[in-house]
Amino acid sequence: MASVTQHQIQKFREDGFLVLEGFFTPEECDSMRDRVCGILAEMEVPPHCRTAFSTKEEEQLQEQGSSDYFLTSGDKIRFFFEKGVLDERGNFLIAKEKSVSKIGHALHAHDPVFKQITHSSKVQELGRKLGLERPVVVQSMYIFKQPNIGGEVTPHQDATFLHTEPLGRVVGFWIALEDATRENGCLWFIPGSHTSGINRRMVRAAPGASTCVEFVGSEPTYDDRQFVPVPISKGGLILIHGEVVHKSEQNFSEFSRHVFTFHVMEAKDTSWSKENWLQPTPELPFPPLYT
């Protein structure tokens, strides 16, 4: 992997995202996929925890908000499922390993393979190139985007869910473990959309509310023509500014689109919102990126 140039860092500042092809080796990608096969083989899902994962707002509130399983997953390794893969009794309608939407949100802390990737020297070097002084890892996810059923992710900004004061302190590292194409659900971005703040926030609801989280503000209707597709090959890394607007389409292809992604916050002179769904815990304070 060639070293990241200042020109590329500048492009990230302008566009709000940056594509770095070949950042990880095929072997590193395969080690993560192999590890997840092992994690799935051991997966035991309590029936009451079988919440489908959705990104549409009402369903987000209903499925995630009513779900303690989601709210308390920040320091654990937990499983979330595609829509339509469970019957009303919570039994799998298809093979369980084909039904998982994502695993979150602390693979970086609890699994040696993902921990090693997250804190790899090239990720740390990239953090320094970005000028991050005290970066901490706030969450991680393994996303499957299953063949034919991998759901769309509607246009959003990551800072909606991971709010900081001031804004602009969160960056996502998005690693393609397989080729991400227009057919299997690559990311789409609105270049330069990271410069005008955020449109909505997902916050913890007041005690006694019918859901555990609620949305403040609303996502505007974006012009589809503003989005550019960003396909990337296996091993590529996309850096994602916390306020850039991005989405992905449903996977209608026969091929999955596996991704490992984690979010880093510059902790220097930054406060993490107490209203975020995700909170550091005594068991797992946000670990420093630099080891």
Element (H, E) at 39: helix 26-41
Q: What is the rounded radius of gyration, in angstroms, for the C-alpha atoms of the chain?
A: 18
In this structure, whether the domain defined by 6-272 belongs to CATH 3.30.360.10 is answered with no
Tokens of 172: 């996502």
pLDDT band at 65 (very low <50, low <70, confident <90, very high): very low
Q: How much is the pLDDT for 47?
A: 56
pLDDT band at residue 51 using 50, 70 and 90 as cut-offs: low
Helices (H) and strands (E) in the chain, counts: 7, 15
* Choice between 237 and 68, residue whose per-residue pLDDT is larger: 237
Please choose, from the candidates 188, 189, 190, 181, the residue with its C-alpha nearest in 3D space to the C-alpha of residue 232. 181
Cis peptide before 166 (omega within 30 of 0): yes
Instruction: Write down the pLDDT at residue 44.
Output: 78
pLDDT > 70 in the chain, percent: 92
Distance (Å, whole) CA 137 – CA 172: 10
pLDDT at 52 over 90: no
Distances from the Cα of 98 to the Cαs of 44, 83, 87, 118, in angstroms? 15, 12, 15, 25
Residue 235 pLDDT more than 50? yes
Q: What confidence score (pLDDT) does residue 49 get?
A: 52
Domain segments of the chain: what residues? 6-272
> What's the pLDDT at 68?
79
Are 265 and 138 in contact, with CB atoms under 8 Å apart? Answer: yes
Q: Can you say whether the dihedral through the CA atoms of 99, 105, 110, 115 is positive or negative?
A: positive
How much is the average pLDDT of 207-215?
84
The predicted-structure confidence for 122-166, as pLDDT tens digits, reads as follows: 999 999 999 999 999 999 999 999 999 999 999 999 999 999 999
Instruction: Report the C-alpha gap between 67 and 72 in whole angstroms.
Output: 9
Averaged pLDDT for residues 99-116: 96
Q: What share of the chain is helix, strand, coil (3-state, %, to 5)?
A: 25, 25, 50
pLDDT one-digit tens code per residue, 55-64: 677 666 555 5
Q: What is the predicted pLDDT for the residue at 174?
A: 98
CA 120/CA 237 separation, integer angstroms: 13
